[in-house]
Amino acid sequence: MPMTRVQTVILLVSASLLLSPAATAAVTPPGGTFTFAVGNAPASLDPSSGEASNEYYFTPAYDSLINYGYDGKYTPGLATSWKWVGSNYKTLDLTLRPNVKFSDGSPLTAQVVKSWLDLQMKNKSPVFVNLGTKSVEVRGPLSLRLNLASSNPLTLLFLSRTWLSGVIPCAKAAATPAMLKAATCGTGPYVLDPKQTVTGDTYTYVPNPNYWNPSRIQWKKLVLKVVTNNQAAIDAVRAGQAQAAWPAQASLIPTAVAAGLKSAGVPQNIIGLDFLDKSGKIVPAFKDVRVRQALNYAVDRKALAAALGGGQGDPVSTQFLPGGEGYDAALSNYYPYDVAKAKQLPADAGYPQGFEFTVLSTPIAGIDTMIQAVAGYWQAIGVKAKIDTKPQAADFFAGLTSGKYGIAGAGLGATNPTLLAWNCCFRPGAVWNPDKTAVPALQAIVDKLAATDPTRANPVAMQVNAYMTKNAWFVPVYSGKLNYIYDAKKLSLPTPSTVQPVIDILDMKPVK
């Protein structure tokens, strides 16, 4: 999910150089144009941004080193095989697929992969943070070894498409990474066409003539249309202007289904609010855990889940969903609706008359609607929340790290392994937790989790859940599905799962 629009003539010119004139695939795709209405635009087309919610802008143009399926199994991608060296999850050997070319015609080699990962280490990008790479060794033209600074049992998952660390651009991009702000240069089945692209609005992809597996190309053209208004996105599908929309607001789905569209999705998101400033630098009251807890007790989650969840949501008090390794049913109603306690706790913390603050909001996934309702509950305990809504997702994400807001709307939630959630969202300094204040007690639990076999991680992950819930890092409100709305007469979608809730755009195929 994005931050700012990039409109630079130089970058667009460099982008056009990456495309062959009238690029066409080796075989004729069965489908014509697939238009996908997406609720956000990327700040950049550089996959090293590591923002998983921008995956749909990267997957068409970039294969990942390893694939992670809806069944939770790993299969070959750009890497045909891999093997852990030793038992401490610190050394991984990879063998690359032969005869693979990038969209600019250059070959995929172990040296190209090393150059990209070395750049990420130098820049300390999210790719580096996710992997924790210490060094990369080239052991042959198509073989390399990843040496990690500390144990990372989830490395294979990070190397899949959803987490972008296994997305490898061409050698030219590693040497000049600025070219990726508005262009693509990958090994994927498509390549961005800058002549049909309007940054922040419409992103058009055409087949990559150098693609190693042309049968994967299902469409003559892929168009990602940015539609931030949920109702407008669904209306576009109903009108035939798009074949699918994502993410679809839960409360709007019943009407869409009644109109003949189909819905797909699994429980994945927690719609709520995220304390960006737990140290109180922006909003001093937020430093006191009693205040953060009070804002939780003040909310009638059952009422909001019923009103806003579209029949899909459940009231929740934690960021961890059933199916996730950190889920603990005993914490699911940790903050029952209790107005008396919600008034007493701020008074005990030195705020008997309440206080004011500004909430960063966005209409994506119905977050703005939820915040307006929550603000009403807070008003009832003397806390005034001014809502600053950013219609453009780019502006919203810029606001998360701007240092201007102590709290923001969020659509987070953990069914994925807790270490993934920690790296992307929970750790100090992450986009969703810009407060860099160290939390030694929690870090010690995370360090223990990182050294634990993933099949035995549940008890430790539950400790992470307990710490964040009891210390009120969030104000979760209701659970929701990661919903897709689509026209089943034109589009076929696979069934998502709790381990892989994000449908690969390459698996969205024309109905034959």
Q: What is the pLDDT of residues 331-367, one digit of tens each?
A: 999 999 999 999 999 999 999 999 999 999 998 878 9
Would you say residue 236 lies in a domain?
A: no
Has residue 487 been placed in a domain?
Answer: no
Calpha distance 400→394 (Å, rounded) = 10
Count Cβ neighbours within 10 Å for each residue of 262-275 and write b for 16 or more, e otherwise: bbbbbbbbbbbbbb
- pLDDT tens for each residue of 407-419: 999 988 766 688 8
Whole-angstrom Cα distance, residue 198 to residue 259?
Answer: 31
The reply to whether 448 and 309 lie within a common domain is yes
pLDDT score for 22: 36
Q: Which residues contact 22 (CB under 8 A, 6 or more apart)?
A: none
- Structure-block tokens of residue 108: 């995929």
**For residues 194 and 19, what is the distance between their CA atoms, to the nearest angstrom?**
9
CATH code: domain of residue 394: 3.10.105.10
* Structure confidence at residue 3 as a pLDDT band (50, 70, 90): very low
Q: Which pLDDT belongs to residue 416?
A: 67
Predicted local confidence at residue 414, as pLDDT:
63
SS3 content of the chain, % helix, strand, coil (to 5): 35, 20, 45
Alpha-carbon distance of 418 to 319, in angstroms, equals 11
Q: Which of 174, 209, 226 is the last residue of a domain?
A: 226
In the chain, the percentage of residues whose pLDDT exceeds 70 is 94
pLDDT, one tens digit per residue, over 438-477 is 999 999 999 999 888 878 889 999 999 999 999 999 999 9
Residue 14 has pLDDT above 50, yes or no: no
Contact 20, 209 (CB under 8 A): yes
pLDDT in tens, 275-314: 999 999 999 999 999 999 999 999 999 999 999 887 777 8
The answer to whether residues 212 and 275 belong to one domain is no
Would 502 be classed as within a structural domain? Answer: no
- Assess if residue 243 is contained within a domain: no
Q: Which whole-number Å values give the CA distances from 414 to 112, 199, 271, 500, 504, in the listed order?
A: 33, 31, 12, 12, 19
Residues 216 and 108 in one domain: yes
Question: Which residue did the predictor score with more confidence, 110 or 265?
Answer: 110
CATH of the domain at 192: 3.40.190.10
Q: 3 phi and psi, to 5 degrees?
A: -140, -55
> Which pTM value belongs to this model?
0.76
Q: Are residues 271 and 215 in the same domain?
A: no
Helices (H) and strands (E) in the chain, counts: 16, 20
Last residue of a domain, one of 175, 206, 226: 226
The stretches of 41-153 forming alpha helices (DSSP H) are 55-58, 110-123, 126-131
Higher pLDDT, 415 or 273: 273
* 233 class by beta-carbon count within 10 Å (0-12 exposed, 13-18 middle, 19+ buried): buried
Residue 129's pLDDT is 86
In a shared domain, residues 290 and 212: no
* Integer angstrom CA distances of residue 461 from 286, 366, 446, 467, 468: 25, 29, 8, 10, 11
3-state secondary structure 233-297: HHHHHHCCCCCEEECCCHHHHHHHHHCCCEEECCEEEEEEEEECCCCCCCCHHHHCHHHHHHHHH
For residue 459, the SS3 value is: helix
301 in any annotated domain: yes
Q: Which two tokens stand for residue 107?
A: 């070959």
Question: Could you please report the per-residue DSSP string of 124-189?
Answer: T-HHHHHHTEEEEEEEETTEEEEEESS--TTHHHHTSGGG-TTB---HHHHH-GGGGGS---SSSS
Query: 491 lies in a domain?
Result: no
- The C-alpha atoms of residue 133 and residue 154 are separated, in whole angstroms, by 13
Please determine, for residue 480, whether its predicted confidence score (pLDDT) is greater than 90.
Answer: no
More confident position, 501 or 193: 193
In a domain, 497, yes or no: no
Q: Report whether pLDDT(25) > 60.
A: no
pLDDT, tens digit, for every residue of 362-397? 988 789 999 999 999 999 999 999 999 998 877 898
Hey, CA dihedral for 15, 20, 26, 28, is it positive or negative?
A: positive
Of 210, 226, 242, the position where a domain reaches its end is 226
Give the chain's end-to-end CA distance (angstroms, integer): 32
| Cα distance between residue 18 and residue 244, in whole Å | 28
pLDDT the model gives residue 79: 98
Q: If we measure between CA atoms, which residue out of 328, 393, 314 comes closest to residue 2?
A: 393
Same domain for 186 and 320, yes or no, is no
Distance separating alpha carbons of residues 278 and 428, to the nearest angstrom: 10
- Which pLDDT value is given to residue 415? 62
pLDDT band, residue 19 (cuts 50/70/90): very low
The pLDDT assigned to 5 comes to 30
Report yes or no on 394 lying in a domain.
yes
Same domain? For 30 and 151 the reply is yes
pLDDT tens per residue across span 204-223: 999 999 999 999 999 999 99
- The whole domain housing 198 covers 9-226
How many structural domains does the chain have?
Answer: 2
What pLDDT is stored for residue 20 in this prediction?
Answer: 36
**pLDDT value of position 26:** 54
Given the structure tokens 């294979």, which residue do they identify?
156
Model pLDDT for residues 121-170, shown as the tens digit of each residue? 999 998 888 899 999 999 999 999 999 998 888 899 999 987 889 999 99
Q: Work out whether the CA dihedral 180, 185, 188, 190 comes out positive or negative.
A: positive
- The mean per-residue pLDDT over the stretch 87-96 comes to 95
**Mean pLDDT of the chain, nearest integer:** 90
- Whether residue 137 is found in the same domain as residue 282: no
As a whole number of angstroms, the distance between CA 178 and CA 201 comes to 20
Same-domain status, 188 and 318: no
Do residues 93 and 207 share a domain?
yes
Amino acid at 426: F
Do 174 and 280 sit in the same domain of this protein? no
Question: What is the pLDDT at residue 34?
Answer: 98
Beta-strand relationship, 384-389 and 356-361 = parallel
Structure tokens at 223: 């168009």
Same domain, 295 and 365: yes
